[in-house]
């Protein structure tokens, strides 16, 4: 593992765009199918991986829904969540806001409670086991009608105190945000946060609708907003968080080469971009891989990585008290010095950076400071300017 990779995996981060059903690995698909006696049209893990050779959103969704059919019990959803959180822990994740699709499960006969109670149990155990906090976001499937979304919102009422927000996912083309204006208004009146997939395959107009009709708190994806200069300036001015998913964009041919991904441009334009994995089991990488491969492809600097990680917290739905809780740590971390490498290889020794923590062992990296400064006196104006005597803190 290079020092730059260790830095990326070690820096504390939140993941804001993760479909929990999309973290179903082929091995889990077989495990759950055997557990629940569900027939699947694959004879081996290798056949499942071969079926992941899709090139557009609809082909992906077809196998995504097929995979979700093996999830039958609260235990399944709990185990699925815990497996994801273990991977997030290894990537330096300390908080996640995960999507789930109730209609995917209720439309095949499962009670609403099965998915939500199983996921909440997994989230609670992950906080105890890994120290990872999380929030649950309930998505409406946009290829269905708004009446279905209203039924889902009604079914969720007993759990609304445990659900942070609502989102909009599934096939984007032909299903604009305006199609769901009334149900999102109802969700907002219930006190739920609002987010929506927009500008992935759909046009910039869908981003406009998400902003002006759904009144979103953040945009999921948002790539195609860059086609509209005025919209781009507006997003930057308003500080609207974009939950960008580079490997998903590559797999679904939103970009044909990761070197063409707009992440670097987004940051240069002042957009509040974050980096997430979307459906990692299907798209070839969890959040750490998305950071690393994108950094290598487009030349993200260490400062860019810090910005992305910082945006993941400021763009989260955590309240001020919860964000403050993430700034505390019960153990005193080890201190060591590593020579920083950029995405393209080792940089000069003058770029040497001190890290507090052990990124490669999965411990949290809690401070970054240039060589030549003391732990108690970080560089003025730097990302750790508020750190005192190396007290663990995200920023």
Q: 179-204 burial string, b = 16+ CB within 10 Å, else e? A: bbeebbeebbeeebbbbbbbbbbbbb
| d(C-alpha 20, C-alpha 249), whole Å | 18
Compute φ and ψ for 120, nearest 5 degrees.
-60, -35
CA dihedral 109, 114, 116, 120 (to 10 degrees): -160
Which of 200, 201, 296, 341 is the catalytic position? 200
Q: Is 302 exposed, middle or buried (0-12, 13-18, 19+ CB in 10 A)?
A: buried
Q: Where are the beta strands (DSSP E) in 116-253?
A: 133-141, 165-169, 193-198, 218-221, 241-244
At which residue do the structure tokens 């942070």 appear? 164
Q: Within 13 Å of residue 205, how many CA atoms lie on the same side as its CB?
A: 7
Token digits of residue 277 = 């994995």
Is the Cβ–Cβ distance between 375 and 27 less than 8 Å? no
Other CB atoms within 10 A of residue 90 CB: 15
| d(C-alpha 198, C-alpha 177), whole Å | 8
| d(C-alpha 20, C-alpha 96), whole Å | 11
Q: Where are the beta strands (DSSP E) in 339-383?
A: 341-342, 345-346, 353-356, 367-370
Residues present in the chain in total: 395
| d(C-alpha 87, C-alpha 93), whole Å | 9
Compute φ and ψ for 99, nearest 5 degrees.
-85, 145
- The verdict on whether 75 is a catalytic residue reads no
The set of catalytic residues is 200
């Amino acid at each position: 593992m290079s020092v730059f990779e260790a830095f990326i995996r070690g820096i504390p981060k939140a993941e804001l765009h993760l479909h929990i059903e999309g973290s179903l690995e082929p091995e889990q698909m077989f495990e759950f199918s055997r557990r629940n006696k569900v027939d699947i049209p694959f004879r081996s893990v290798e056949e499942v991986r071969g079926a992941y050779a899709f090139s557009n959103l609809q082909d992906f969704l077809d196998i995504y829904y097929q995979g979700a059919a093996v999830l039958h019990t609260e235990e399944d959803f709990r185990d699925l969540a815990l497996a994801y959180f273990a991977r997030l822990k290894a990537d330096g994740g300390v908080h996640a806001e995960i999507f789930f699709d109730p209609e995917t499960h209720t439309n095949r006969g499962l009670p609403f409670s099965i998915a939500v109670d199983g996921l909440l149990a997994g989230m609670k155990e992950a906080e105890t086991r890994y120290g990872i906090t999380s929030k649950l976001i309930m998505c409406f499937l946009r290829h269905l009608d708004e009446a279905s979304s209203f039924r889902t919102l009604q079914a969720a009422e007993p759990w609304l105190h445990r659900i942070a927000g609502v989102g909009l996912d599934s096939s984007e083309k032909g299903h604009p945000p305006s199609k769901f204006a009334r149900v999102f208004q109802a969700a907002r009146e219930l006190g739920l946060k609002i987010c929506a997939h927009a500008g992935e395959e759909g046009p910039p107009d869908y981003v406009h609708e998400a902003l002006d009709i759904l009144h979103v708190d953040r945009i999921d994806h948002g790539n195609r907003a860059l086609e509209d200069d005025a919209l781009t300036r507006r997003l930057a001015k308003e500080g609207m968080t974009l939950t960008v998913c580079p490997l998903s964009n590559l797999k679904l041919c939103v970009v044909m080469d990761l070197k063409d991904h707009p992440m670097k441009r987004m940051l240069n334009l002042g957009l509040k971009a974050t980096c997430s994995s979307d459906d990692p089991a299907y798209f070839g990488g969890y959040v750490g891989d998305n950071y690393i491969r994108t950094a290598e492809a487009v030349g993200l600097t260490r400062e860019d990585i810090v910005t992305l990680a910082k945006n993941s917290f400021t763009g989260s739905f955590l309240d001020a008290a919860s964000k403050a809780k993430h700034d505390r740590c019960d153990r005193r971390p080890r201190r060591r010095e590593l020579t920083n490498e950029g995405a393209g290889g080792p940089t000069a020794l003058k770029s040497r950076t001190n890290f507090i923590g052990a990124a490669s062992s999965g411990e949290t990296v809690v401070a970054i400071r240039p060589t030549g400064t003391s732990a108690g006196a970080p560089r003025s104006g730097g990302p750790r300017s508020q750190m005192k005597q190396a007290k663990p803190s995200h920023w």
